[in-house]
């Protein structure tokens, strides 16, 4: 998860070595991910991992409206002392995460490129200066990312695309959809926490 808790790069020395899969003659450490990492339902945000891939797709498609509703009448730059990003920053992370995974699945569909790696979400956040992005622009970008995602991921699910992640192992397109849905819902929860904190500590 993002901003201190991470989906793409779990904390160093942390959750990455709980189990392995056979790789030739050797067992190599694997990164825990998905429901295995967060719990089902997620211990933090309560997300129940959908069995039906179509339900995961719908959860992603709902994200722009849900973030937009949550931020209606808000500044979008509120802060929580325990979280690295403001609400607009979380929206931008969800946007980039959807773009990254849709792109990976597009690579598999269009070019047979199934070998994928993680990406450094915190480096990306710094490069794009998430906390400085205008909240309305962040929401606009999310809408575009979900539109592009929806043009690729359901088709990849239908075609039963399977990515080969370098630390997670095989990742079906439907698993990607579930993970992406969880990422969005988890960060809705983060934004609610930020806003609740702000409500309790109004600016002078
Ligand atoms: Zn969660």
- In the numeric block, the tokens 């998860």 are attached to 1
Q: What is the pLDDT of residue 99?
A: 98
Strand order in the sheet with 162-165: 115-116, 162-165, 169-172
What pLDDT digit, counting tens, does each position of 4-27 carry?
A: 433 443 333 333 333 334 444 444
- CATH no. of 54-200: 1.20.120.450
Ligand 1 centre from 134 Cα, in Å?
25
For ligand 1, the distance from its centroid to the CA atom of residue 181, given in whole angstroms, is 10
Q: What burial class does residue 163 get, using C-beta atoms within 10 Å of its C-beta: 0-12 exposed, 13-18 middle, 19+ buried?
A: buried
Whole-number Å distance, alpha carbon 185 to ligand 1 midpoint, is: 7
Between the CA of 45 and the centroid of ligand 1 the distance, in Å, is 4
Give the pLDDT confidence of 139-174 residue by residue, as tens digits.
999 999 999 999 999 999 999 999 999 999 999 999
**Cα separation of 181 and 151, whole Å?**
16
90 C-alpha to ligand 1 centroid (Å): 14
Over residues 101-116, the pLDDT tens digits come to: 999 999 999 999 999 9
Q: Do the bridges between strand 115-116 and strand 162-165 make them parallel or antiparallel, or are there none, so unpaired?
A: parallel
Per-residue confidence (pLDDT) for residue 28, from 0 to 100: 56
Buried b or exposed e, range 20-42, using 16+ CB within 10 angstroms: eeeeeeeeeebbbbbbebbeeeb
Tell me the whole-structure pTM to 2 decimals: 0.86
- Is residue 93 classed as helix, strand or coil in its secondary structure? helix
């Amino acid at each position: 998860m993002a901003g201190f808790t991470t989906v793409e790069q779990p904390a160093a020395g942390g959750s990455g070595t709980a189990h392995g899969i056979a790789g030739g003659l050797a067992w190599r450490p694997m990164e825990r991910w998905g429901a295995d990492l967060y719990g089902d339902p997620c211990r933090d945000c309560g997300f129940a991992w959908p069995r039906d891939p179509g339900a995961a797709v719908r959860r992603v498609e709902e994200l722009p409206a849900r973030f937009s509703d949550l931020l209606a009448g808000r500044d979008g730059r509120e802060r929580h002392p325990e979280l690295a990003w403001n609400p607009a920053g979380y929206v931008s992370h969800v946007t980039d995460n959807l773009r990254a995974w849709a792109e990976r699945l597009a690579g598999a569909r269009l070019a047979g490129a199934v070998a994928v790696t993680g990406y450094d979400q915190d480096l990306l956040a710094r490069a794009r200066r998430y906390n400085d992005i205008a909240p309305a622009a962040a929401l606009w970008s999310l809408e575009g990312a979900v539109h592009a995602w929806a043009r690729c991921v359901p088709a990849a699910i239908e075609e039963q695309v399977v990515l080969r992640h370098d630390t997670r192992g095989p990742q079906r397109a439907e698993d990607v959809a579930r993970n992406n849905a969880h990422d969005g819902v988890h960060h809705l929860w983060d934004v609610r926490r930020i806003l609740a904190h702000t409500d309790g500590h109004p600016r002078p």
